[in-house]
Amino acid sequence: MTTQLSIRPAVLADLSAIVAMLADDPLGATRESPDDLTPYQDAFARITAAPDQHLIVAERENRVVGTLQLSVLPGLSRRGTSRTIIEAVRVHDTERGNGLGTELIRWAVDRSRELGAGLVQLTSDATRTDAHRFYERLGFVPSHIGFKLTL
Amino acid sequence: MTTQLSIRPAVLADLSAIVAMLADDPLGATRESPDDLTPYQDAFARITAAPDQHLIVAERENRVVGTLQLSVLPGLSRRGTSRTIIEAVRVHDTERGNGLGTELIRWAVDRSRELGAGLVQLTSDATRTDAHRFYERLGFVPSHIGFKLTL
């Protein structure tokens, strides 16, 4: 049995815990620097200044145990449908397998509806096959190829 | 030989031409309503009010011949890297095969750099195999699966 979970907007005091989760990941380990928070502080300020960005954390017993970022994109396609994009989903390793990932994504889907979106989208690295099954179980359709160009 | 092309922010007077291009497409034909611009006008207002949204058109001889939307997403991942997302890329059918698509995407990549992004990403429907070759030629890597959930 797990104790009460709360999902709330991230504050600056959560930053170190969020970055630790970003880094504690096979892909994240190669591209994050949890010992130097400076670049993350700048990015945190940009995110909180942008009304269409929603960076949230899941907290249990005063510990940050999960995070994701939800972005709203207004657009013309599909008769002017706004969409949301889910990025940077992470669950603390002590919480894996207990349904927290599902709670986070369900929160993001519900929040997307409240924000007036008609579509939720995300991309997942092709190597994360467990994640793909997870998103399909939640009703997401793997209809697209995700392309990236590093600048 | 083609005449001079300009790429500029979209204005409300471009809306009907943009929506016609969104609809003139195997997938778009099923989900757009070019004869009723009302929902698009509302969406256009939301896009132009959002500083991180850049809806642009390509114009040749006073005709709108291409469009795309570039969105800036600040984020914590990759040491606080901002990314851009390219959506709703369309080229008028009279202009296909003459390099306009390449010019549009190159514009978006250059603009992403100017906006301080470290990554450009987009998703393309798995059925658009010609588009996939096009993006790969421009240096994009098909590293991800794109998931969507319609609300």
Using a CB-CB distance cutoff of 8 angstroms, which residues of chain B are in contact with residue A32?
77-79
Rg (CA), chain A: 16
* Residue in A with minimal Cα distance to B129: A145
Q: Is residue A129 part of a domain?
A: yes
**Residue B76: closest CA among A14, A22, A123, A52:** A22
Q: How far is A5 from chain B (nearest CA, A)?
A: 23
Q: Is residue A151 part of a domain?
A: no
Cα separation of B58 and B56, whole Å? 7
The CATH number of the domain where A56 resides is what? 3.40.630.30
**Residue A147: closest CA among B87, B24, B68:** B87
Which residue range forms the structural domain that includes residue B121?
5-137
* Residue in A with minimal Cα distance to B75: A43
In this structure, the dihedral spanned by the alpha carbons of residues A50, A151, B104 and B149, taken in order and rounded to 10 degrees, is -50
Structural domain count, chain B: 1
Contacts for B146 with CB less than 8 Å, ≥ 6 apart: A121, A122, A123, A142, A143, A144, A145, A146, B123, B124
| Per-residue model confidence (pLDDT) at position B2 | 62
DSSP code of residue B14: G
Using a CB-CB distance cutoff of 8 angstroms, which residues of chain A are in contact with residue B21?
none
Q: Do A118 and B151 lie within an 8 Å CB cutoff?
A: yes
Contacts for A67 with CB less than 8 Å, ≥ 6 apart: A10, A14, A18, A21, A22, A55, A56, A57, A58, A88, A89, A90, A104
What pTM value is reported for the model? Answer: 0.94
Locate tokens 């190159």: which residue?
B106
Q: Is residue A147 part of a domain?
A: no
Q: What is the pLDDT of residues B27-84, one digit of tens each?
A: 778 899 999 999 999 999 999 999 999 999 999 999 999 999 999 999 999 999 999 9
Q: Is residue B62 part of a domain?
A: yes
* Residue in B with minimal Cα distance to A29: B78
Residue A147: which of B43, B88, B142 has the nearest Cβ? B142
Q: What is the pLDDT of residues A79-132, one digit of tens each?
A: 999 999 999 999 999 998 889 999 999 999 999 999 999 999 999 999 999 999
Q: Is residue B11 part of a domain?
A: yes
Q: Is residue A144 part of a domain?
A: no
Residue A75: which of B87, B123, B135 has the nearest Cβ? B87
This complex has an ipTM of 0.93
Beta strands across the sheet bearing A141-150: A5-9, A53-60, A63-73, A82-91, A117-125, B141-150, A141-150, B117-125, B82-91, B63-73, B53-60, B5-9
Using a CB-CB distance cutoff of 8 angstroms, which residues of chain A are in contact with residue B122?
146-147
pLDDT, chain A, mean: 95
CB atoms within 10 A of CB B76: 27
* Residue in B with minimal Cα distance to A42: B80
pLDDT, chain B, mean: 95
CA B60 to chain centre: 17
Q: Is residue B79 part of a domain?
A: yes
Residue B121: which of A28, A119, A147 has the nearest Cβ? A147
